[in-house]
Amino acid sequence: MNNPQLNQDGQLKHLLSIEGLPKAILKQILDTAESFVGVAEREVKKVPLLRGKTVCNIFFENSTRTRTTFEIAAKRLSADVLNLNVGTSSQAKGESILDTVNNLIAMHADMFVVRHSQSGAAHFIAQHVAPHIHVINAGDGRHSHPTQGLLDVFTIRRYKPDMHNLRVALVGDVLHSRVARSEIHALTTLGVPEIRVIAPKTLLPVQVEKLGVQVYHDMHEGLKGVDVVMMLRLQNERMNGALLPSAQEYFKTYGLTQEKLALAHPDAIVMHPGPMNRGVEIDSAVADGSQSVILPQVTYGIAVRMAVMAILAGSTI
Amino acid sequence: MNIHIQHGHLIDPKNKLDARQDIFISLGKVVGIGHAPDGFLAEQVIDATNLIVCPGLIDLSARLREPGFEYKATLESEMLAAAAGGVTSLACPPDTDPVLDEPGLVEMLKHRAKQLNLTHVYPLGALTRQLQGKELTEMCELTEAGCVGFSQADIAITDTLVLFRAMQYAATFGFTVWLRPEETYLAKDGIAHDGEVASRLGLRGIPAIAETIAITTILRLALETGAKVHLCRLSTREGVELVREAKTQGLNVTCDISANHLHLTEYDIGFFNANCHLKPPLRSQRDRDALSIGLADGTIDAVCSDHTPVDDDAKLVPFAEAEAGATGLELLLPLSLKWASEQKIPLSAAIARLTTAPAQILGLDAGHLSVGSNADICIFDPQHYWKIEAKSLISQGKNTPFLGMEVAGKVRFTLLNGRVQFALSPTGG
């Protein structure tokens, strides 16, 4: 089966999921991102790599942070940016996704950043757009959120450069998390030897171990000796119901506190893709504590998204 | 018209015929096998050299989309597809719009089908009004109108008491209840087999227990009520196992699978191929292997096309939003032949799953070629290789997971009541 993300020469054509991306491309993105970290610290925070290009953010599902960081990334690359909240416009009028996208292509958009509530939506769009168009998946259902996965491994690499000697734990709602899936694929591709998932059985997908992870249900066991703790967001609507009895019980069993964090390696870093539920999955003292790298994640997110856009644009020139 | 089919290899599983035999047809009936009756004068001779001659295929599930979904397919387009696929009898599920829950609708459908006269159409009536699982339909009236059984199509009855009553009532009159076993809550919002692929792709899963729990319930109710039950479209290994046990214990139950599930697994979804969005979902390799074994050993009685033409627009959306279903009438024969050749199943055993067995389930005197029987005949070339493409299909539905695949087995002639209703043009179209 052809990898729909790569062109015939094996270069990145779309960024749809981390799964199936060669290690070399992952490294290319991370290395390119390194060179963009400095751009934000300059007085003029712009490089002309995407001058004259139009980047279109189509969000079929609401988002503030991801859309904003994509917008900043595109603007720092000198692209023109168009933001479309489709949830509130054409889709509500019954227009199909393809019609929405093709209308924007007719307006000469070059690159699409797409978020959609259905798994596979980005793949679907990528399969049906004209060949010169690039698609970046900004989150599709429970499937994938590749730039988040990339910025997370970028952050890890900055703090823990020896990826081949790491223990990483993902804690929380893996079942519904596209972030978790992307992180797992990014970490396995980069050769991280031990990835753990820690969650109750109701929040784990079936056969999750086939993704290359070890399963823990006891957080105290699972956190022992890990170098990285990645907390996952628990959606409000999942806190009380058939998946979990209450936010309080969840915090007690799977919330990250200083006490539980003490079980990890003393130098362990704490990450969270945001937005955080303080007091549900993470205690404020940990979120704001010395081991937290949650805000640097956001900063690096811009550099990583710049790198992805620059590489995609470069693949056509 | 008097027709002489000569030099063909006749396979009729019911009569245990598997040899070179000529067939003689007069006034819609088979009048001679091997020898012409006295004074027989052929008006048409069909040369079946190197071809297989078998009873017309009987498909236990083909959606013709009328009434209500004519933009997806019409009776005419799908009956032509049936003829091109060698299918001479088919059962159609009641999930049309309006639902087949009133005798008038069934009579209309039978009448329209009869006028077109391309294949015999046997409607399944709705088991409950509007398929809502609340009130029973007028099963006796519907049977008089032409229904051969009662089904819920893809909408399972949630209320077990209603299911119990429906089976009791059907059992009173000896009607067969056709159920696709799926526990509603466990399958809710699911779109793919709850396994490795769904976990990877982030698709909501339908666990195998949704099927096994439903089968267990249905079989217990069948035992209690004495209803004749036909389980539709099994998909799991454990499901086959439950049916095998029930049959061993002598329960009056039959079952079928779709030809899609005989060949495909969850892995065929690949990168969200919407043509692989099917009901029930494509399951694991282990499940598929169990279906294949079950079909071979007779636990699974029949294989059907589960023909469901879907318009392109309904598939041109993300996987989960795509309408489930695939075209299948023209693929039933080649996919069954592919199974037989891969699993080293004798051709006559494979043909039995498409003729004798489904005829028995439907209670029809069909699916065999005896002197005096209706001349519903399929003549095919088992060595004719062709590529499954939109343009090679007559059905209005062009969506199938098998697009692009090359298969062996092409129907050359289909006879219905002794008349040639389909003949493959020399160019192959």
pLDDT in tens, B352-390: 999 999 999 999 999 999 999 999 999 999 999 999 999
Domains held by chain A: number: 2
Tell me: do B334 and B378 sit in the same domain: no
CA distance B156 to chain A (A): 22
Residue A68 covered by a domain: yes
Is B315 within 8 Å of B264 (Cβ atoms)? no
Q: Is pLDDT at A89 greater than 80 in this prediction?
A: no
Share of chain B above pLDDT 70, in %: 99
Domain count of the fold of chain B? 2
| Residue found by looking up tokens 């819920």 in the block | B152
Structural domain boundaries, residue B18: 3-53+373-388+406-423
The backbone torsions φ and ψ at residue B198, rounded to the nearest 5 degrees and listed phi first, read -65, -40
pLDDT tens-digit map of A47-67:
999 999 999 999 998 888 899
Q: Are B320 and A143 a contacting pair at CB < 8 A?
A: no
- Residue B393 in domain: no
Please answer whether residues A285 and A279 qualify as being in contact, where contact means their C-beta atoms are separated by less than 8 angstroms.
no
Judgement on whether residues B283 and B351 belong to the same structural domain of the protein: yes
Residue B32 reports pLDDT greater than 60? yes
Does the global pTM surpass 0.90?
Answer: yes
Same structural domain, A76 and A213: no
Domain assignment present for A8: no
- Nearest by CB to residue B199, choosing from A127, A141, A208, is A208
Amino acid identity, position B220: R
**Cβ–Cβ under 8 Å, residues B203 and B226:** no
pLDDT exceeds cutoff 70 at B427: no
Residues B173 and B207 in one domain: yes
Angle between helices B160-173 and B208-225 (to 10 degrees): 50
pLDDT score of A65? 86
| Residue with tokens 């362990």, as numbered in its chain | A268
Report yes or no on B183 lying in a domain: yes
Q: Is the separation of the CB atoms in A172 and A281 below 8 Å?
A: yes
B218 shares a domain with B187: yes
Instruction: Tell me the pLDDT tens digit for each residue of B272-283.
Output: 999 999 999 999
What are the start-end ranges of the H helices in B272-371? 285-297, 312-315, 332-343, 347-352, 356-362
Total count of residues recorded for chain A: 317
pLDDT of A239 reads 81
Question: CB of B201 within 8 Å of any CB in chain A?
Answer: yes
Beta-carbon separation of A178 and B202 below 8 A: yes
Residue A88 binned pLDDT confidence (cut-offs 50, 70, 90):
low
Query: Does the residue A11 lie in any domain?
Result: no
- For tokens 């009380």, name the residue: A240
- The Cα of B251 is separated from the nearest Cα of chain A by a number of Å equal to 34
A59/A108 same-domain check: yes
How far is the C-alpha of A143 from the C-alpha of B332, rounded, in Å? 34
> Which residues of chain A lie closer than 8 angstroms to B207, CB-CB?
206
A–B CB contacts, 8 A cutoff, strictly below: 73
| Residues A259, A217 share a domain | yes
Say if A17 falls within a structural domain.
Answer: no
CA distance A313 to chain B (A): 24
In this predicted structure, the answer to whether residue A238 has a pLDDT above a threshold of 90 is no
Q: What is the mean pLDDT of residues B194-223?
A: 97
Q: What is the pLDDT of residue A314?
A: 86
The answer to whether residue B349 is domain-embedded is yes
Residues 6 or more apart whose CB falls under 8 angstroms from that of A70 comprise A55, A57, A113, A136, A138, A147, A305
Distance CA B332, CA A63 (A): 47
Residues B263 and B313 in one domain: yes
The residue segments making up the domain with residue A288 are: 146-293
- According to DSSP, the residues that pair with A135 across neighbouring strands are A112
Residues A75 and A178 in one domain: no
> Does B42 share its domain with B64?
no
Whose tokens are 């504590």? That residue is: A289
Contact B384, B84 (CB under 8 A): no
Rounded distance, CA B60 to CA B58, Å? 6
Are the Cβ atoms of A143 and B202 closer than 8 angstroms?
A: yes
Geometric angle at alpha carbon A85, from A80 and A88, rounded to 5°: 150
Contact assignment for B201 to A120 by CB distance below 8 Å: yes
Confidence tier at A85 by pLDDT (50, 70, 90)? confident
> Percentage of chain B with pLDDT > 90?
98
In a domain, A304, yes or no: yes
User: Which pLDDT band, with edges at 50, 70 and 90, does A92 fall under?
Assistant: low
Whether A93 is covered by a domain: the verdict is yes
CB of B123 less than 8 A from some CB of A: no
Residues of B in Cβ contact (< 8 Å) with A120: 201, 203, 271-272, 318-320
Looking at residue B136, what DSSP letter applies? B
Cβ–Cβ of B195/A120 closer than 8 Å?
Answer: no
CATH assignment at residue B411: 2.30.40.10
With cut-offs at 50, 70 and 90, classify the pLDDT of residue A91. low
For residue B34, pLDDT over 70 is answered with yes
A177 in the same domain as A123:
no
Which residues have CB under 8 Å from B396's CB, separation 6+? B65, B72, B73, B74, B77, B78, B81, B309
User: Each residue of A27-41: pLDDT tens digit?
Assistant: 999 999 999 998 888
* CB atoms closer than 10 angstroms to residue B18: 17
Both structure tokens of A2: 């052809």
Q: Maximum Cα–Cα distance for chain A, whole Å?
A: 56
Based on the fold, state whether residues A135 and A199 are members of the same structural domain.
no
Q: Which of B201, B205, B320 lies closest to A206 in CB terms?
A: B205
Encode pLDDT of B219-239 as tens digits: 999 999 999 999 999 999 999
Q: Does B318 touch chain A (CB under 8 A)?
A: yes
Query: Is the same domain home to A263 and A309?
Result: no
Q: Both A171 and A234 in a single domain?
A: yes
Do B40 and B94 fall within a single domain?
A: no
Task: Mark out the alpha helices in B174-229 (DSSP H runs).
Answer: 184-187, 196-201, 208-225
Residue B273 phi/psi, 5° resolution?
A: -70, 110
Q: A118 and A242: one domain?
A: no
Return d(Cα B310, Cα A166) in angstroms, integer. Answer: 49
d(CA A233, CA A66): 15
Q: Is residue A9 part of a domain?
A: no
Interval A151-165 mean pLDDT: 97
B250 inside 8 A of chain A by CB: no
The residue count for chain B: 429
**B398 falls within a domain:** no
- Report, as residue numbers or ranges, the catalytic residues of B: 306
Residue with tokens 């056709």: B178
Residue A43: give its domain's CATH number.
Answer: 3.40.50.1370
Is residue B368 in a domain? no
Query: Is the domain of A137 the same as that of A156?
Result: no
Q: Which CATH number is B321's domain given?
A: 3.20.20.140
Query: Is there a single domain that holds both residue B324 and residue B411?
Result: no
Q: Which residues is A113 bridged to in the sheet?
A: A57, A136
Distances in whole angstroms, Cα of residue B301 to Cα of each of B171, B253, B340, B355:
21, 10, 15, 10
Identify whether B428 is part of a domain: no
Please, which pLDDT band fits residue A44 given cuts at 50, 70 and 90?
confident
User: CA separation (Å) from A1 to A4, A15, B222, B223, B419?
Assistant: 9, 17, 45, 47, 45
ipTM above 0.90, yes or no: yes
Alpha carbons B72 and B66: distance in angstroms, whole number: 9
Distance, CA of B303 to CA of B282 (rounded, Å): 15
What backbone phi and psi angles, to 5 degrees, belong to B103?
-55, -40
Same domain, B44 and B62: no
Residue B400 lies in a domain: no
Is B208's Cβ below 8 Å from some Cβ in A? Answer: no
Residue B409, burial from CB neighbour count under 10 angstroms (0-12, 13-18, 19+): buried
Does residue A3 lie within any of the structural domains? no
Question: Nearest Cα to A202, choosing from A240, A229, A168, A259?
Answer: A240
Q: What is the DSSP string of A255-284?
A: -B-HHHHTTS-TT-EEE--S---BTTTB-H
In the predicted model, what is the mean pLDDT of chain B?
97
CB within 8 Å: B316 and A96:
yes
- Does the beta-carbon distance from A143 to B270 stay under 8 Å? no
pLDDT surpassing 80 at residue B428: no
Are both A121 and A172 inside the same structural domain? no
Do B88 and B168 lie in one domain? The reply is yes
Locate the chain B residue with the closest alpha carbon to A204: B199
- A171-210, pLDDT tens digit by residue? 999 999 999 999 999 999 999 999 999 999 999 999 999 9
Kindly state whether B273 is in contact with chain A, defined as any CB-CB distance less than 8 angstroms: no
Q: Is the separation of the CB atoms in B69 and B83 below 8 Å?
A: no
**Cα–Cα distance for residue pair A215/B365, rounded to 1 Å:** 57
Same domain, B381 and B334: no
Distance (Å, whole) CA B182 – CA B163? 13
Residue A126 and residue A4 in contact, taking contact as beta carbons nearer than 8 Å: yes
Give, to the nearest 10 degrees, the angle between helix B237-248 and helix B285-297: 30
Residues A215 and A247 in one domain: yes
Closest CA to A263 of A289, A230, A291, A225: A225
- Alpha-carbon distance values, A220 to A182, A216, A263 (Å): 25, 9, 7
Same structural domain for residues B154 and B294?
Answer: yes
Determine, for residues A119 and B196 on separate chains, whether the beta-carbon distance falls below 8 Å: no
Q: Strands B44-47 and B3-6: what pairing?
A: parallel
Query: A96: which chain B residues are within 8 Å (Cβ-Cβ)?
Result: 313, 316-317
B206 touches A at CB < 8 Å: no
Helix, strand or coil, per DSSP, at residue A72: helix
Q: Which of A98, A118, A142 faces B316 most closely, judged by CB atoms?
A: A98
pLDDT at residue B429, rounded to an integer: 47
